[in-house]
Amino acid sequence: MMPSLLRDVCLVALGGAVGSVARWGVAHVLPTGSFGHWPTFAVNVLGALLLGLLLEALTRPGPETPRAHTVRLLVGTGALGGFTTYSTFAQELWDGVSSGATGPALGYAGLTLVSGLLAAALGMILGARVRGPGGARAAEQALDTTAGDTRTGAPAASATASPTTPGGLPAGADEQPPAGSSSTGPASSGEHR
């Protein structure tokens, strides 16, 4: 096994162990009562919120750094993957339907899914705020002006240094290759694949 792959597996395993123990703890703290599903509901909704926050804060700014990669695997895939439990959610739904409580089971399913989506959206909003002023827009603008052409490694072109055609394309982008030649090289900087 390659060292980087082994490192990644260890990060996910360590995070998963921590997340699973945390889920076990929540199951022993929250009441089960007549509804019985509060622990599962709580870990899945909280996990969706935290995953939305984490991924928005780590991945939206641009290419993944080694530090972000480590945090994503340890906390996102590992800890939050071990913390959330959609298999238990599915089992609880099946138990409800098979016992004849189809209505409450479907209500629980709808409540969990909608709450999870809203929690993930809130997490993304919070993640953008954690990232700092301007959120995703500022990060994308910074990348556009500093990253250059990620396909060819060419540096970013200044808006004043590159003449453009009246249509806004880089000069020469609308020119055809000479007859008999083929254009198999990299796409012009104005094209996106």
User: Is residue 38 domain-resident?
Assistant: yes
Give per-residue pLDDT as tens, 3-35: 899 999 999 999 999 999 999 999 999 987 767
pLDDT of residue 62: 78
User: Is residue 134 domain-resident?
Assistant: yes
User: Is residue 149 domain-resident?
Assistant: no
CA atoms within a 13 Å half-sphere pointing along the CA-CB vector of 127: 22
Comparing 41-45, 77-81, 118-122, 146-150, the range with the smallest average pLDDT is: 146-150
Q: How far is CA 53 from CA 57, 72, 89, 133, 161, in A?
A: 6, 11, 22, 16, 38
pLDDT of residue 133: 65
Q: How far apart are CA 62 and CA 136, in angstroms?
A: 9
User: Is residue 102 domain-resident?
Assistant: yes
Give per-residue pLDDT as tens, 129-186: 887 765 545 444 443 443 444 444 444 443 333 344 444 444 444 444 445 444 444 3
User: Is residue 37 domain-resident?
Assistant: yes
User: Is residue 81 domain-resident?
Assistant: yes
Tokens standing for 90?
Answer: 């599915």
User: Is residue 177 domain-resident?
Assistant: no
pTM for the structure as a whole: 0.66
pLDDT of residue 134: 56
Specify the higher pLDDT residue, 63 or 6. 6
Range of the domain at 16: 3-144
Average pLDDT over residues 85-109: 94
Q: What is the dihedral of CA 118, 122, 128, 133, to 10 degrees?
A: 130
User: Is residue 167 domain-resident?
Assistant: no
Q: Which residue has the tokens 């480590």?
A: 70
Count Cβ atoms below 10 Å from residue 103 Cβ, excluding itself: 10
84 annotated binding-site participant: yes
Average pLDDT over residues 73-85: 96
Give per-residue pLDDT as tens, 109-139: 999 999 999 999 999 999 988 877 655 454 4
pLDDT of residue 160: 39
- Above 50 in pLDDT, residue 57? yes
- Above 70 in pLDDT, residue 73? yes
Q: How confident is the model at residue 1 (pLDDT cuts 50, 70, 90)?
A: low
The structural domain count of the chain equals 1
